[in-house]
């Protein structure tokens, strides 16, 4: 069993993202600072920031989360695609810090973090409510933007490979609580080819693939395994049914997960938390692999450290040499 816990607990991983630009403003600002360009922000009781893609993000004044939501996408009209300039994310200088990091952590599993995947990048650039309609009404434009993003991601993947990364991690949320965001037939038509292209490049660079997705994505799990996903990072590992996920993953894929952060961890029920941790370890550890992890933002979902410690300790005890003999 592998572990990806915070300081004071076992952690087999070290992560490397793309270095930030020294002269880019990544900070949150008062909404009024952008009101000249976006008059509606005069009434927005919160903070805003712009990312490197040109998306304008916002969050309410009392929102503790680090990210927020896109208020205005970088590509408000498809006509703007001709003049859009993709951020310089593949500049080799933005990967120079990885060499020193690897030198300082020679025994860690080296995980590179991609700045998104085609769907996640495009849905921010267009905003989700518009982009889902685009998939049916503007297919040609969607695929044109998709090709641009895939080509940029291929260059980023090559830079990570050159830096000596062991695996690439990406986030692409494809599910609601009970279904895929789009018809799986449409997913296979529009997105599966890009996954194949990107996954082939990752594997050709001798790197593993670690995919995060929120929600119910059972309808495309076999596709993702077929394409070569090595590790699935789920924060709701029980959502799709532990037994049937374990059956799909058996000797093919690894689960990388905390206990369910929506239905289990927030209960503060020690027995429930510990029993689910043991269940996940038992179901996946011997059937393909299991990596126990911390959730990334306990403050936002109001989880007490004591509850998290119960989870960590239960995972560690389940992965101890004594438990492995059982």
State the total domains in the chain.
2
Least confident segment among 23-27, 93-97, 190-194, 322-326: 322-326
Q: Mean pLDDT score of the chain, rounded to an integer?
A: 95
Instruction: For residues 221 and 112, state if they share a domain.
Output: yes
Please state, in angstroms and rounded to a whole number, the distance separating the CA atoms of residues 10 and 12: 7
Query: Among 208, 233, 258, where does a domain finish?
Result: 233
Q: What is the pLDDT of residues 275-320, one digit of tens each?
A: 999 999 999 987 779 999 999 999 989 999 999 999 999 999 997 6
CATH no. for residue 106? 3.20.20.210
Instruction: For residues 126 and 66, state if they share a domain.
Output: no
Q: What is the token pair recorded at 221? A: 């799990």
- What distances in angstroms separate CA 52 from CA 37, 44, 89, 154, 306, one per listed residue? 18, 22, 9, 18, 37
Query: Among 176, 211, 233, where does a domain finish?
Result: 233
**100: exposed, middle or buried (Cβ count in 10 Å: 0-12, 13-18, 19+):** exposed
Instruction: For residues 123 and 13, state if they share a domain.
Output: yes
Contact 262, 225 (CB under 8 A): no
Please state, in angstroms and rounded to a whole number, the distance separating the CA atoms of residues 5 and 207: 22
Q: What is the token pair recorded at 19? A: 């270095």
Residue 120 lies in a domain: yes
**119: exposed, middle or buried (Cβ count in 10 Å: 0-12, 13-18, 19+):** buried
Q: What is the pTM of this model?
A: 0.95
How many Cα atoms are found within 13 Å in the side-chain-facing hemisphere of 156? Answer: 27
Domain of 204, in residue numbers: 7-21+91-233
Is the pLDDT at 326 greater than 50, yes or no? no
Q: What is the pLDDT of residues 248-279, one digit of tens each?
A: 999 999 999 999 999 999 999 999 999 999 99
Residues contacting residue 59 through CB under 8 Å, at least 6 positions apart = 28, 46, 47, 65, 67, 68, 69
């Amino acid at each position: 069993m592998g572990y990806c816990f915070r300081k004071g607990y076992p952690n087999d991983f070290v992560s490397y993202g793309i270095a930030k630009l020294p002269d880019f403003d990544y900070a949150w600002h008062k909404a009024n600072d952008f009101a000249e360009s976006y008059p509606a922000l005069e009434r927005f009781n919160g903070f805003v920031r712009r990312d490197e893609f040109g998306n304008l993000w916002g969050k309410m004044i009392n929102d503790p989360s680090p990210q927020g939501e896109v208020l205005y996408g970088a590509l408000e009209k498809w006509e703007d695609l001709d003049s859009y300039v993709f951020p310089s994310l593949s500049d080799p200088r933005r990967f120079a810090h990885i060499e020193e990091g690897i030198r300082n952590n020679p025994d860690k599993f080296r995980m590179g973090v991609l700045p998104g995947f085609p769907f996640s990048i495009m849905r921010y650039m267009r905003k989700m409510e518009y982009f889902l309609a685009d998939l049916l009404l503007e297919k040609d434009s969607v695929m044109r933007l998709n090709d641009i993003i895939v080509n940029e991601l291929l260059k980023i993947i090559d830079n990570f490979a050159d830096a000596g990364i062991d695996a690439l991690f990406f986030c692409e949320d494809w599910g609601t609580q009970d279904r895929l965001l789009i018809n799986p037939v449409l997913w296979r038509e529009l997105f599966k080819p890009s996954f194949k292209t990107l996954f082939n490049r990752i594997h050709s660079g001798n790197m593993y693939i670690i995919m995060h997705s929120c929600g119910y994505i059972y309808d495309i799990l076999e596709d993702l395994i077929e394409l070569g996903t090595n590790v699935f990072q789920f924060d709701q590992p029980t959502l799709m049914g532990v037994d049937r996920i374990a059956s799909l993953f058996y000797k093919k894929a690894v689960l990388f997960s905390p206990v369910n952060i929506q239905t289990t961890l927030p209960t503060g029920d020690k027995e429930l938390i510990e029993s689910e941790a043991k269940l996940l370890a038992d179901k996946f550890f011997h059937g393909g692999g299991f990596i126990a992890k911390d959730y990334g933002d306990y403050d936002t979902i109001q989880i007490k450290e004591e509850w998290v410690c119960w989870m960590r300790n239960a995972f560690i005890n389940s992965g101890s040499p004594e438990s492995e003999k059982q």
